[in-house]
């Protein structure tokens, strides 16, 4: 069906835009992320209305849509959760819990996360997604690695704490400083107007 193919294409484009916006200068733009998630939701609804609901892509676009909305000041968290949902169920069991225990998430998030349904990533998602997290793939396949010192890159030693990946900002020095960010600060920076 044409509409179906169109919906899938739009979903693929949207997801690659979401990935691209993480490395944008100035941080994640809330408005843009919101609009992207709305488009993804529309596309997903159209896709579902034309395809039986047993499709494997059932949960994966929804989670980026929901989780991405929190992305304003917490780009690392979003990227972590996107990679989480896009991968298979095996990873989910291992890494779902640590990701969920991030201090910024409200308690209801645990119950809303649907896990284990997706065993195969949708075929239209950009394949380079897998290559972005070589560290995490290895982590799933091998037993927990021995403590690693000072390893820059998709640091496996960090994955058990959080799923921040090292994404070098274009033209602004190497990834070195980013690997020290294990968790974003609890809550948003307090400003006087908040109190």
d(CA 165, CA 173): 16
Q: Counting every residue, how long is the chain?
A: 195
Shortest Cβ 79–other proteins spacing (Å): 12
Binding site for other proteins (CB under 8 A): 6-7, 10, 13, 17, 25-27, 29-32, 34-35, 38-39, 42-43, 46, 66-67, 69-70, 72-76, 106, 108-109, 112, 169, 172, 177-178, 181, 184-185, 188-189, 191-194
Least separation in angstroms between CB 76 and other proteins: 7
CA–CA separation, 4 and 57 (whole Å): 13
Alpha carbon distance 102, 160 (integer Å)? 12
* Residue 72 vs 145, nearer CB to other proteins: 72
Residue whose entry in the numeric block shows the structure tokens 């990873």? 91
Question: Least distance (Å) from other proteins to the CB of residue 120?
Answer: 25
For residue 180, what are the contacts with CB-CB under 8 A and spacing of at least 6?
Answer: none
The 3-state DSSP composition of the chain as helix, strand, coil percent (nearest 5) reads 55, 0, 45
Output 59 or 94, the one with its CB closest to other proteins.
59
Is 144 or 187 the residue whose CB approaches other proteins more closely? 187
Of 39 and 51, nearer to other proteins (C-beta) is: 39
98 Cα distance to chain centroid = 14
Tokens of 172: 């602004």
Nearer to other proteins, 24 or 120 (CB): 24
Instruction: Considering the complex, state which of residue 62 and residue 137 has its C-beta at the smaller distance from other proteins.
Output: 62
Estimate the crossing angle of helix 134-141 against helix 89-100, to 10 degrees. 110
Q: How far is the CB of 34 from other proteins (least distance, A)?
A: 6
Could you tell me the smallest distance in angstroms from the CB atom of residue 62 to other proteins?
A: 11
Cβ–Cβ < 8 Å for 62, 69 = no
Nearest approach, Cβ of 139 to other proteins (angstroms)? 23
């Amino acid at each position: 069906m044409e509409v179906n193919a169109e919906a899938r294409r739009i979903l693929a484009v949207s997801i690659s835009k979401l990935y691209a916006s993480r490395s944008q200068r100035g941080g994640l733009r809330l408005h843009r992320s919101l609009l992207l998630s709305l488009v993804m939701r529309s596309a997903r609804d159209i896709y579902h209305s034309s395809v039986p609901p047993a499709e494997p892509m059932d949960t994966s676009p929804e989670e980026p849509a929901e989780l991405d909305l929190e992305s304003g000041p917490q780009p690392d968290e979003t990227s972590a959760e996107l990679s989480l949902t896009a991968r298979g169920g095996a990873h989910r069991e291992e890494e779902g819990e640590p990701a969920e225990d991030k201090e910024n998430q409200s308690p209801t998030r645990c119950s809303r996360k649907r896990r284990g349904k997706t065993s195969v990533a949708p075929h239209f998602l950009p394949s380079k997604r897998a290559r972005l997290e070589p560290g995490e793939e290895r982590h799933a396949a091998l037993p927990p690695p021995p403590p690693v010192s000072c390893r820059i890159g998709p640091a496996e030693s960090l994955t058990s704490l959080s799923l921040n990946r090292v994404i070098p900002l274009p033209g602004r020095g190497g990834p070195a400083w980013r690997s020290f960010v294990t968790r974003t600060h609890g809550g948003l920076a307090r400003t006087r107007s908040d109190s």
